[in-house]
Structure 1
Amino acid sequence: MIEIYGLGGIGKTTIAKAIFSRICDHFDGFCYLENFREKLGTNNGVIELQETLLFEILRDRNLKVGNKSRGINMIMERLSFKRILLLLDDVDKWVHIENLLGGCDWFAFGSKIIITTRNKHLVATLGKCFSMHEVKELDQNEALELFSMHAFQSNKPKKDCLELANQVIQYTKGLPLALVIMGADLCGRTKPEWKSAIDKYKRIPNKEVQNVLEISYEGLDEAEQDIFLDIACFFKGFHKKYVLDVLDSCDLHPIYGILKLINMCLITVDQYEKLSMHDLLQQMGKDIV
């Protein structure tokens, strides 16, 4: 099992799909299940994913699951001897995987399951049968190339727009989703329109980007949301121990809460034990407040 984790919009799905496409022909069967988190919310969604998995591997349109438990049994019986490649995109709870598959060790030796998630802790209880890979922000050159591909249809920016392009790069802090959306939005516009749009982005977050980032925030409980907003508004750059002391006095249970935010890729702690978060997450937090 391979867990690919990171902040929303960081490129987990893009990377996983590229890997999947490159190696899928080396397996007895392969299946890509997208929008995993959304579909696992209902029994019908579970059944739909189970039927999709069985069809993609066996190519038998006559297989009907009927109910979740029967689907799990069919997956165990029909797929246990096959060496498969399975991509589960956007998973937030391990129990959802169990509801779909039952046991991930049912497939033949050499099978691979790739999971994309915002939750670093998702498969941490499984021991040595998995590897974890964090997707990080793009560096300056990578960000400029990605942005240019969408803003200029070239891997390099126009010379007269380089300064404005660098302002966008600075604002997005290497988040691929924001670079793609803003690049497409600015494509073909005049320099005055660019300047106006960049000023607007700095004051009013792009709704499409914010909606993706808010998914992780909405998955927190009330105390964890309060901790996130406090860090976004007051404690970014502060020492972790100081923040723990302050939030503990507010009965927010910050030892667990801050660990949850770290696992959800919403905040980071540097080598000096100082708290930080992506600028666009901080902007989202302030906008929520």
Structure 2
Amino acid sequence: MGGIGKTTLARVVYTQMSPHFEGKSFLANIREVSNKCGLVSLQKQLLSQILPDECFNFFNVHEGNAIISNRLSNKKVLVVLDDVDNLQHLKCLVGKHDWFSLGGRIIVTTRDEHLLRSYRIDDVYKPTTLNPTDALRLFNLKAFDSDTMPKYDFIELSKDVVHYADGLPLALEVLGSFLCDRDIIQWRSAIERLKQDSSKEILDTLRISFDGLEEREKNIFLDIACFFNGEKKDLVMKVLDGCEFFPDIGIDVLIKKSLIKVSDDNQYLRMHALLQEMGRKIVEERCVDKPGKRCKLWKERDVHHVLTKNTINHSTKITYKIFFLLIYDVNPKLSLISLHIDPLVTLSSFKIIFIC
């Protein structure tokens, strides 16, 4: 999961441990740098940081592999690979154990646990979100330049923001910095706005993991975000299996990428509130003003609009799978009878009707 503090932790460890090694290298933002500049650029950066007095000229990763394994095999080094998202990053930058001398340490940060497991990484540490006390301290550091309790007028507002961030360090830092040096009226306004639209910086960071998914995993993620967050795992698996999304592997992919979690008793699927918000925004952005053309509906007003105005596009059932939630007990006005709608005509456009 993005924004949970993987890079920050790696930097702290790197700073504390680096004096004990003959050479050191911190390769930041590998995913982004690799896409823009290529792996050869990263190989040269690795060598230059560990052997700063030398110049390296090579033009393909195979040459780079040979030079790294030859020049660093007798050095006790500390290497941090930050934001790895491809096995090739590991193969071309740290290769095998015999590329480096005994006593060396390789630290890898990634959003994909499976990538580490498949490369036979020795140990895996999974950061967790902050508990409420630590979350409040981090937020106060950014908002008030102090980890102590804020002024009385801001105490409850601070707790509201911390509750919204749900322990995610990135959200706490971004929101704390944004609210720093603003008055209480501006705080209240900003918090009300958060209920409608979250910070773009936060959601953009979270979306990186979503964009890296295959299409079926994207559909599973969006279905959970829109309908099934906190629902029983068995129920969700049956529904997704009926959509031919192959949930046995798809759910595992999302878990390994920390996009969803399974409860301790293995009964329920859970998603962080900000990930859920990000997923729902992705659906809404596809057709902002015409809910009938969206692939999923979950808001009462959108469902009501589609049924009363009959705005569903009949081609939708070919292009999208629309899940439709009818809550008869909670809100009878949404029942098909009270809306005077021909259910056979209207519901023929929906792939699945999920009734609770």
Q: Deviations over 1:270-289 (max 9, x none)?
A: 02320001000001111111
2:268 match = 274
Deviation string for 1:78-121 (max 9, x for gaps)? 11111100000001122221133432431011110000111111
The equivalent position to 1:154 in structure 2, one of 141, 146, 165, is: 146
Counterparts of 1:161 and 1:193, CA distance in 2: 11
User: Residue 223 of structure 2 corresponds to which residue in structure 1?
Assistant: 230
Q: CA deviation at 1:45?
A: 2.2
Which residue identity does 1:87 align to in structure 2? V
- Report percent identity of matched pairs: 44
Name the SS for the 1:241 alignment partner. Answer: helix
Q: What do residues 17-36 of structure 1 show as CA deviations (whole Å, max 9, x unaligned)? A: 00000010111100000111
One of 211, 220, 229 as aligned partner of 2:204? 211
SS at match of 1:258: helix
1:247 aligns with 2:240: yes
Range 186-195 or range 166-175, more displaced: 186-195
Give me the TM-score of the superposition, normalised by structure 1.
0.94
* Among 87, 93, 106, the residue aligned to 2:86: 93
Q: Deviations over 1:166-225 (max 9, x none)?
A: 000100001111101100111111111111101111210210001100000000011100
**Relative contact order, CA 8 A, sep 6+: which one is greater?**
1
Partners in 1 of 2:22 and 2:53 — Cα distance? 15
Counterpart residue number, 1:221: 214
In structure 1, C-alpha distance between the alignment counterparts of 2:62 and 2:3, rounded to whole Å: 34
Aligned pair partner of 1:16 in 10, 21, 26: 10
CA contact 2:206–2:275 (8 Å) conserved in 1: yes
Runs of 4+ in 1 over 4 A off after TM superposition: none
User: What is the alpha-carbon distance in structure 2 between the residues aligned to residue 105 and residue 233 of structure 1?
Assistant: 47
| Length, aligned pairs only | 281
TM-aligned CA deviation for residue 66 of structure 1: 2.3
Q: Aligned runs of 1:56-71 on 2, under 5 Å? A: 56-71=49-64
**Native 8 Å contact 2:43 2:92 kept in 1:** no
User: Match for 1:32 among 3, 26, 30?
Assistant: 26
Deviation at 1:242, TM superposition (A): 0.9
Give the corresponding residue for 1:81: 74
* Larger CA Rg, structure 1 vs 2: 2
Please state whether the residue corresponding to 1:122 is helix, strand or coil.
helix
- Structure 2 length-normalised TM: 0.77
Distance 1:92 1:104, change over 3 A: farther
2:156 corresponds to 1:163: yes
Question: CA-to-partner distance for each residue in 1:46-83, whole Å, 9 max, x for gaps?
Answer: 11111111111112342222222111111011111111
Q: Which runs of 5+ in 2 are unaligned?
A: 284-356
- In 1, are the aligned partners of 2:69 and 2:98 still within 8 Å (CA)? no
Unaligned runs of 5+ in 1: 1-6
CA contact (8 A) 1:28 1:84 kept: yes
Matching residue within 122, 128, 140 for 1:130? 122
